[in-house]
């Protein structure tokens, strides 16, 4: 089983929204590296941190599981959506997504600055500068270290 961290801006979609919805398509990904991770690496049952980005403070807020295989993101064909992509061919959709399922909120949020301070997380992808991927792989070791901060 693999572990992930997935970013979302809480103003747009937060862990509390997912708690309410229980299960939701993780739509709007328009980055090929992330699409390929969805397609090639994510498996049903994988676990992912729900990370609140672009907010104060940025932090890991909860845990969810991957609930589907990758399938086409419907928003790419919806002209009203901000994620619309007119160049995507319905016969061969460019953008994929996975469904995620709410598991739980962390007992407390673990902030980015805490993660940065952690000696054993210096190599963690989220802590490296210029990291702009909205979905990043997490090793089992990193996963456990982060959960231990809870």
Give residue for tokens 């801006």.
9
Among positions 37, 96, 134, 142, the unique one binding DNA when judged by CB under 7 A:
134
Give residue for tokens 């979302």.
8
In the complex, the smallest distance separating the C-beta of residue 130 from DNA, rounded to whole angstroms, is 2
Site string for DNA, 1-40 (x = CB under 7 A): ------x-x--------------------xxx--------
In the complex, the smallest distance separating the C-beta of residue 113 from DNA, rounded to whole angstroms, is 6
58 binds DNA (CB under 7 A): yes
Question: Given the complex with DNA, which of 86 and 90 has the nearer CB atom?
Answer: 86
- Helix (H) or strand (E) holding 100, with range, is strand 99-111
Please choose, out of 19-27, 48-56, 66-74, 137-145, the segment that lies near DNA by the rule CB under 7 A.
Answer: 48-56
Could you tell me if 62 and 13 are in contact, meaning their C-beta atoms sit under 8 angstroms apart? no
| Token pair for 20 | 């309410």
How buried is 37 (Cβ within 10 angstroms: 0-12 exposed, 13-18 middle, 19+ buried)?
buried
């Amino acid at each position: 089983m693999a572990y992930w961290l997935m970013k979302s801006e809480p103003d747009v979609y937060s862990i509390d929204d997912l708690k309410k919805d229980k299960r939701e398509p993780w739509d709007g990904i328009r980055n090929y590296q992330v699409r390929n991770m969805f397609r090639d690496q994510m498996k049903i049952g994988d676990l992912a941190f729900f990370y609140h980005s672009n907010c104060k403070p940025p932090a890991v807020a909860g845990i969810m599981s991957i609930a589907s295989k990758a399938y086409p993101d419907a928003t790419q064909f919806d002209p009203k959506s901000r994620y619309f992509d007119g160049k995507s061919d319905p016969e061969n959709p460019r953008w994929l997504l996975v469904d995620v399922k709410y598991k739980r909120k962390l007992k407390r949020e673990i902030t980015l600055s805490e993660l940065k301070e952690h000696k054993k997380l210096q190599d963690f992808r989220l802590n490296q500068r210029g990291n702009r991927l909205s979905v990043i792989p997490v090793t089992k070791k990193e996963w456990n270290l982060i959960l231990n901060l809870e």
